[in-house]
Amino acid sequence: MRIRRLVLLVSILVLCLVLLTLQTRGRASGAADLVARITTPVQKTLSAIHRGAFGLWSTYLDWKNVRAENRRLRDENQRLRVDALAVSETAEENQRLRRMLELKARLPLNTLTGEIIAREWGGWVRSLTVNRGRADDVKRLTAVISPDGLVGRVVDVRPGAAVVQVLTDPTSTVGAHAVRTRTPGVVEGEPRGTIRFKYMARDGSALQPGDLVVTSGLGGLFPRGIPVGRVRAIDDRGSALFSFATLEPAVNFAKIDEVLLVTGDRMEDVTAYFQTGG
């Protein structure tokens, strides 16, 4: 038994040494070639299986990771969008209120801040409802302004709210003049939601697009110098008594959220207190 084991070991050793010696003497080993011929195809097959299995596994892991990451990123994206909207909204509101307060502090008038709580935007009537009413001592025909210019006037006062007729209301008329040419006239609302400046042809021949039109203060309803709009186009009626200029309103009525109600009786010229940008 022991001899058989030793014979086996010695045979193996001799075989190995012969193989090694043959190779170092530059003779190709036929046995090695034979072994390689058998093992190589099997190796290739198993390698392909191994690669495939690992590839499949990595694909699964990637897919799983991507799915989880995708879900996480979606949630994060949603949250960030909401946050961004909130921040943006807050920043905008902050800016609006700041402008409003700055105007309130600047103006030599008694004013009351109001928040718009409703809008009537049909063609027949164009109005805003503010959260100031009889309890706040708001009176009918009170002028309503914003940092950009004139909004309109209060036409109806209720216990906790007031209805403001905006300039674009078809029944709205405001005494105004062009700042550069001092051309007097009337700003009227139109059913299509625009405003126009109606003036006497002989007084407004020099009127140009871009000219600023402000309240005239005549009639004692609105303080003088509140921006109403800028001339967009001039409709020269030739020999007619009146000409018309289409105005771009100073205030974007659709986007306005807060206003100032002019509550006192002081009616000073406030042209210098509005930033008209030239």
Partner 1 sequence: MLALTIFGGGVAHATLAPALRIGDVAPDIPLIVVILLALRRGPEFGAIAGFAAGLLQDVAGGGLVGAQALTKAVLGFTLGVIGGRLRVTQPLVQVTGLVVLSIVEGILRFGILKIFHFPAPFGELMAYVVLPQALYNGFLGAALVLALAWADAQRHPAA
Q: Where are the alpha helices (DSSP H) in the chain?
A: 2-24, 30-106
Q: Is 135 in the site for partner 1 (CB under 8 A)?
A: no
Name the strand (E) or helix (H) holding 243.
strand 242-249
Nearer to partner 1 by C-beta: 4 or 192? 4
Write phi, then psi, for 244 (nearest 5 degrees): -130, 145
Contact stretch for partner 1 (CB under 8 A) within 36-44, 81-89, 141-149, 200-208: 36-44
Name the strand (E) or helix (H) holding 149.
strand 149-157
Q: What minimum distance in Å lies between the beta carbon of 81 and partner 1?
A: 43
Nearer to partner 1 by C-beta: 13 or 272? 13
Residue 224: how many other CB atoms lie within 10 Å: 17
Among 8, 66, 84, 91, binds partner 1 (CB under 8 A): 8
Nearer to partner 1 by C-beta: 15 or 135? 15
Q: Is 61 in the site for partner 1 (CB under 8 A)?
A: no
Indicate the residue type of 135: A
Nearer to partner 1 by C-beta: 10 or 91? 10
Pairing of strands 111-120, 127-130: antiparallel
Tokens 């509005």 belong to which residue?
A: 274
Query: What letter would DSSP give residue 213?
Result: E
Contact stretch for partner 1 (CB under 8 A) within 43-51, 84-92, 208-216, 217-225: 43-51
Contact stretch for partner 1 (CB under 8 A) within 25-33, 87-95, 104-112, 166-174: 25-33
Contact stretch for partner 1 (CB under 8 A) within 42-50, 75-83, 186-194, 259-267: 42-50
Q: Is 23 in the site for partner 1 (CB under 8 A)?
A: yes
Nearer to partner 1 by C-beta: 22 or 267? 22
Q: Is 24 in the site for partner 1 (CB under 8 A)?
A: yes
Cα gap 142→222, rounded to integer Å: 8
Size of the chain, expressed as the number of residues it contains: 278
Q: What minimum distance in Å lies between the beta carbon of 44 and partner 1?
A: 10
Q: Is 62 in the site for partner 1 (CB under 8 A)?
A: no
DSSP labels, 109-174: S-EEEEEEEEEE-SSS--EEEES--GGGT--TT-EEEETTEEEEEEEEE-SS-EEEEETTSTT-EE
Cα gap 225→81, rounded to integer Å: 42
Residues found near partner 1 in the complex (CB under 8 A): 4-5, 8-9, 12-13, 15-20, 23-24, 29, 31-32, 35-36, 39, 42-43, 46-47, 50, 54
